[in-house]
Structure 1
Amino acid sequence: MSTLSPSPAGAPAAERPTMRRVAVASCVGTTIEYYDFFIYGTAAALVFPTVFFPALGSTAGTVASFATFAVAFVARPVGAVLFGHYGDRLGRKRTLVTTLLLMGFATVAIGLLPTAAAIGVLAPIALVVLRFLQGLAVGGEWAGANLLTAEYAPAGRRGFYAVFPQLGPAFAFALSSATFLVSDAVLGTADEAFLTYGWRIPFLASALMVIVGLYIRISIEETPAFREEQARAARAGDTGSRSLPFVDVMRKQPAEIALSAGLMSVLFGFFYMGTAYLTAYGTNPDGAGLERSFVLTTGVIAAGALAVTTLLGGIWSDKVGRRPVIITSGVAALVWSLMLFPILDTGTPLAFAAGVVVTLSIFGLAFGPVGAYLPELFETRFRYTGAGAGYNLGGVIGGAVPPLLAPGLTASYGSIAVGVMLALLAVVSIASTAALAGRTRMDATA
């Protein structure tokens, strides 16, 4: 069994700049990747029903828009297996450069995509293809970025350092909301201008961010654990005869993949309900009916709360263990799921703001330690594949299904039905986390 051999907690001063550089590189990279991923969610709520599905009407257009949003979650496990293979065979660094380039291409292409009014049904088809490519890229991104920090960090501080890539979604959501907010402010109340070209600005702006991210990622070295595993394989003479990482991990650690997916289900449910779905709910006249600028400003504030709770969760997990922190968040999610929509249904701006902020804060508390915990569950030689597969299968359960089912559930049974759905995911997450006791493969605080 391969285990991580991290640098000791009292690493020489010369090693500390390397750890800081890795932390910054992982954070910047995931921020860019998730910015590209999340501006799609914001656009799916604000723009795409009108631009790409105008013939379907408001409700059906929103459902179709979020169906394309969900496509990426189907692609994410495929991306985890595909890029996990290369990440476990060729290295974390080179694979992460590839995922960043793929995400940048797909995002800029969406920003240049003609509307349904211009090219008809080809527009939504192309949108689905590009969203699938985004899903492939982000499916390969998470595990690699977290392995950069987890495999470099000393065991006693792995929760802290593994938080840096986990901060990427918080920063990305803030940037996504802020970019749309600026576009909205510049264009004022000119909805036609915003729907024609204003929404494209965040997508095209990602090209500059990708260039910065590539520069930073290329400057870092491969992780010590991967280099050690490559050396071990070379000594054993099995570098060319090893089976596929996905085959290995499915044969040796299928339970860890399944339980990781269950653990992640409510996290994804809370994050994407708190961002994409509530953005649509907040601006929809049949929902909260709030001003677009208020909803986007709330998103920036909520992203700040998410960053704080993510950091606190990671630090706390180094002191008390990963599982207690994740289970605490799961219990909070169970209670809040049943409170969220009755609060939102009061229809006040304060209720909406509280709903988004608390939802993302509960998510952040567990998301912080997850960055260290999932890699700790798997052996080095298929850690990229295993951690990525578990994480992204959870995305299918919690990230694709709830936003897709929520409009229909609300229409048929009222908004409380969405809360019950999230509560069930919380139960699955708590049970899965409890079942993972004693399964870590790295020296860790479990």
Structure 2
Amino acid sequence: MQSTIASIKASEAPANPRSRVIFASLAGTAVEFYDFYVYATAAVLVFPHLFFPTGNETTALLSSFAVFGAAMVARPLGAILFGHLGDRRGRKATLVGALLTMGIATFLIGLLPTYEALGWVAPVLLVVLRLAQGFALGGEWSGAALVATENAPAGKRAVFGTFPQLGAPIGFIVANGLFLVIAALLPSGDPSRPSAVFLDWGWRIPFLFSSVMVAVGLWVRLNLVESAAFEKTVKRGRVTKLPLAEVLRTHGKELVLGTFYMLATYVLFYLMTTFSLSYGRAAADGTVPGLGYDYTSFVLMMIVGVVFFGIFTLASGPWADRWGRRRTLIWVTLAIAAFGLVWVPMLSAGFVGVMAWLILGFSLMGMTFGPMGALLPELFPANVRYTGSGIAYNLSSILGAAVAPFIAVALWRAGAGSPLWVGVYLSAMALLTLVALLLGTETKDVDIEA
């Protein structure tokens, strides 16, 4: 009798324990976002000096941002390939492949010779490896979100969906914290420029350290069991030969809506991380005036803001499960649009205003980013979920993240150093997301195994 009860309980137990699901979805995206942030920081701090020495500071920065944006173009391609594999072969093996690709590319960037050693070949190699990073991240996010949501308890999908999203603030803090430690150990006499030793070899350490984090992420993911939603898809004979064609044929509306759901999130994300690091460090009396903070001070201020990013990412899950994804995001998107209109008074109010700007911006980032871990997968059925959610998420990266730093720098220059039009740009993108949310429907009660 006892053995029968034990066997029944064992059959009812989830294939993946909740702690394993949470850790696997969180650890993998933390590694992926760490790798991405390491590049984003180097794109501002290092690469304009070492790979794009044009003689013009703004041109060098824009060239570095162009390579940064190139990865966003590669991300939908990664979403298509990894999505195909994830919908055909399963989530687990695909996630391992995405993590390995990202880790190897990041490690190799840390070994690259500079422009001084290889000439134009050096930035070309940087572009190739950056494209590999974007390609891998294109398959990473949706797989991690599916691991979390497809293994979530009933009524808790948005809560579980926040854990892969939490990888973004954790990756940011670890990446920038490591850069700060290295910069402190290799100090520069010029606050606007890293030290010669830092530019020589110090910047390589965060890229090489990625191998350690990848090893941890792989260990966690190799212990996962395939999700029940995918297993049921296989048993029902509903595995699609060409997931991309199926998504385009039957779920085009969801694809478009999902892309625009993410637009404001992406623009805010990269304005608050990549652009703000440039704006915060630019001299107040420079050719294009900025806030005039030294690198260490401003990054520490950003890390404080990112702590709020993490807090509100977690807080958004219970809200989205209680009130619905759509209703929660409508109010948050309205708040993002309003936030874009108060950049000038906040950034003109000294340290307190800048700190409030960072905390508010990153808090809104958490509130809009958190529910996406559940919302985008819920738009698509299990047999094309990896492909559909991945393409929507990564197409938005082109419309939002790939061009956001470029547009922001152009508007910053056009405004003679004023952030006014950069904030207006954010508000305009938020309004586009708001329209998409108003056109969409609530998804919190959909059957995740259908």
* TM, length-normalised to structure 1: 0.92
Superposed counterparts of 1:257-406, under 5 Å:
257-285=255-283, 286-346=289-349, 348-406=350-408
**Does structure 1 conserve the Cα–Cα contact (< 8 Å) formed by 2:325 and 2:444?**
no
Residue 106 of structure 1, CA deviation? 0.6
The change in CA–CA distance for 1:257 and 1:193 in structure 2 (over 3 A counts) is same
Residue 148 of structure 1, CA deviation? 0.3
The change in CA–CA distance for 1:341 and 1:221 in structure 2 (over 3 A counts) is farther
Q: Which amino acid aligns with 1:189?
A: S
Residue in structure 2 matched with residue 409 of structure 1 by the alignment: 411
Residue 14 of structure 1, CA deviation? 4.3
Q: Which amino acid aligns with 2:428?
A: L
**Counterpart Cα distance in 2 of 1:349 and 1:205:** 33
Residue 420 of structure 1, CA deviation? 1.3
Q: Do structure 1's residue 422 and structure 2's residue 426 form an aligned pair?
A: yes
Structure 2: stretches of 5+ with no match in the other structure: 1-8, 190-194, 284-288
Return 265-274 or 46-55, whichever deviates more.
Answer: 46-55
Cα RMSD, aligned residues only: 1.9
Residue in structure 2 matched with residue 133 of structure 1 by the alignment: 132
Residue in structure 1 matched with residue 235 of structure 2 by the alignment: 231
1:370-429 Cα shifts (integer Å, max 9, x gaps): 101111110110000000111111111111111111111111134211111111100011
Aligned residues: 428
Residue 195 of structure 1, CA deviation? 1.4
Return 112-121 or 431-440, whichever deviates more.
Answer: 431-440
SS in 1 for 2:428: helix
SS in 2 for 1:15: coil
Q: Do structure 1's residue 199 and structure 2's residue 203 form an aligned pair?
A: yes
SS in 2 for 1:28: helix
Q: Which amino acid aligns with 2:296?
A: S
1:275-328 Cα shifts (integer Å, max 9, x gaps): 111011111223111011111212221221101000011111111111111111
Return 315-324 or 282-291, whichever deviates more.
Answer: 282-291
**Counterpart Cα distance in 1 of 2:344 and 2:212:** 39
Return 271-280 or 10-19, whichever deviates more.
Answer: 10-19
Residue 228 of structure 1, CA deviation? 0.6
* TM, length-normalised to structure 2: 0.92
Q: Which amino acid aligns with 2:435?
A: A
Q: Which amino acid aligns with 1:48?
A: F
Superposed counterparts of 1:7-86, under 5 Å:
14-15=13-14, 18-86=17-85
**Counterpart Cα distance in 1 of 2:290 and 2:57:** 12
Residue 441 of structure 1, CA deviation? 8.2
Residue in structure 2 matched with residue 245 of structure 1 by the alignment: 243
Superposed counterparts of 1:175-186, under 5 Å:
175-186=174-185
**Does structure 2 conserve the Cα–Cα contact (< 8 Å) formed by 1:36 and 1:203?**
yes
The counterpart of 1:217, out of the listed 211, 217, 221, is: 221
SS in 1 for 2:188: coil
Residue 438 of structure 1, CA deviation? 4.8
The change in CA–CA distance for 1:151 and 1:396 in structure 2 (over 3 A counts) is same
SS in 1 for 2:436: helix
SS in 2 for 1:220: coil
Q: Which amino acid aligns with 2:436?
A: S
Residue 102 of structure 1, CA deviation? 0.3
Identical aligned residues as a percent? 41
**Does structure 2 conserve the Cα–Cα contact (< 8 Å) formed by 1:377 and 1:441?**
no
**Does structure 2 conserve the Cα–Cα contact (< 8 Å) formed by 1:180 and 1:296?**
no
The change in CA–CA distance for 1:193 and 1:350 in structure 2 (over 3 A counts) is farther
**Counterpart Cα distance in 2 of 1:203 and 1:211:** 14
Q: Do structure 1's residue 92 and structure 2's residue 91 form an aligned pair?
A: yes
**Counterpart Cα distance in 2 of 1:408 and 1:427:** 21
1:28-79 Cα shifts (integer Å, max 9, x gaps): 0100011001111111111111111112421111111111110111111111
1:157-205 Cα shifts (integer Å, max 9, x gaps): 1111111111000100111110111111111226111111111111110
**Does structure 2 conserve the Cα–Cα contact (< 8 Å) formed by 1:30 and 1:142?**
yes
SS in 2 for 1:155: coil
**Counterpart Cα distance in 2 of 1:428 and 1:36:** 30
Residue 243 of structure 1, CA deviation? 3.7
1:102-139 Cα shifts (integer Å, max 9, x gaps): 00011011111111111111111111111110000001
Q: Which amino acid aligns with 1:442?
A: V
The change in CA–CA distance for 1:13 and 1:309 in structure 2 (over 3 A counts) is farther
Structure 1: stretches of 5+ with no match in the other structure: 1-9
Q: Which amino acid aligns with 2:291?
A: A
**Counterpart Cα distance in 1 of 2:11 and 2:269:** 38
